[in-house]
Chain A
Amino acid sequence: MSGKSRVNYRPEPSGNPVRDSALGLEPATLEPFLALNNAVWQAGPLPPADLELARLRNAHHVGCVFCKNVRYDLARADGLTEAEAQAAGSQRLETSLSGRQQLLLDYCDQYLRDPAGLAADLKAKLLATFSVEELLHLSLALAHFNAFSRCAVALGGMPDDMPVTEISLPA
């Protein structure tokens, strides 16, 4: 993974970390990207704590240091504990997670590792536990989280490590 940033974009800081990142270079895609980010967190039935579990599972899969170490304040306010956040990055069956949370992570793993291989028994468990709207929300959120993490890694400049840092949803 390259520690060298591949894009040198230094705009006047706006206070929005996405707008101030390399993504700010292309206005045609920036606004739809920001709108999608807000919709992922605010326009679906899953609570922020569930979305944060999915985001963190993806972050560990992709190996994005930024994504692994940030925590959305709205997820913490929704009740997500640091133990649960850490467990989302573990591949072990975690006793700190509920069956519902573990199933959510199983669906994330399917998307990330083998989206064509969803087995009938996992489908049945998912449909018995989540509503269709929740599964759609989780799917669309995962697609966004995965694209964002991959984007951060591909742009380079990733530190080797960073402290856990709380952030807010960019306005």
Chain B
Amino acid sequence: MLAITQVKKGQTAVMTWLAPATDFNGTAAGLPALAEAHLQLYRSLVHQQAVPAFTLELCRLRLAQLHGTTAQWLPPLAAVEEDSAGALRQWPAHASFSDTDRACLDFAEVYAIDPGALSDEQADRVKVCVGERGLVVLIEALGVLDGALRLGLLWELDGEKA
């Protein structure tokens, strides 16, 4: 739920429960060094070369679905066409997705619920597609993305609970 505060006669400001802002940068402005460190790690997911950024973006969108959010405040890692994004709930059977996408989405779904429930076979399927380095990047990326989504919900960024 957004809090709307009267700041001047005739003017209103929209804010989260923590700060007079609705985005990550504005909300975390009180801790710029720590916020920037988080953003640097987030940006590094685009620059690594072990897993296609497109695949990581599909995982971000799927995690957001599982969290029940759109997380529009979070910058995308890659462009995903509307058709692919719309088909994401049917990824196991939909022709839009590559073997790499499927292996990573399968891993991401179980990770979101309980990383202790991931099987060696699921990890092996990811490694067949992107190697050991890719598995490490995927696991790191899922942690970063899941954390960002949780922060957005907890802080109520962009009216997440509206």
Contact = CB atoms under 8 A, between A and B. Distances in A.
Interface in A40-73: 40, 43-44, 62-63
Nearest to B131: A25
Given A36-B40, A132-B30, A151-B139, A139 B146 contact: no
B41 A155 contact: no
A2 B117 CA distance: 8
B99 interface: no
Contact of B38 (A26, A31, A36, A111): A36
A136 interface: yes
B27 interface: yes
B48 A26 contact: yes
Interface in A99-122: 110-111, 115-116, 118
Interface stretch (A4-12, A78-86, A87-95, A161-169): A4-12
A123 B37 contact: no
Contacts of A1: 116
A23 B140 CA distance: 8
A153 B119 CA distance: 11
Interface string A121-152: 00100010000110111011001101110110
A147 B137 contact: no
23 contacts: A2-B118, A6-B120, A22-B132, A23-B136, A29-B137, A29-B140, A32-B40, A39-B34, A40-B37, A63-B116, A115-B153, A127-B17, A132-B30, A136-B19, A139-B151, A140-B28, A140-B31, A143-B148, A143-B151, A147-B144, A150-B111, A151-B139, A155-B136
Interface of B: 17-19, 27-28, 30-31, 33-35, 37-38, 40-41, 43-45, 47-50, 67-69, 111, 115-116, 118-120, 123, 127, 132-133, 135-137, 139-140, 142-144, 146-148, 150-151, 153-156, 160-161
6 nearest A-B pairs in the assembled complex, by CB-CB distance = A147-B143, A143-B147, A28-B48, A39-B37, A115-B153, A32-B41
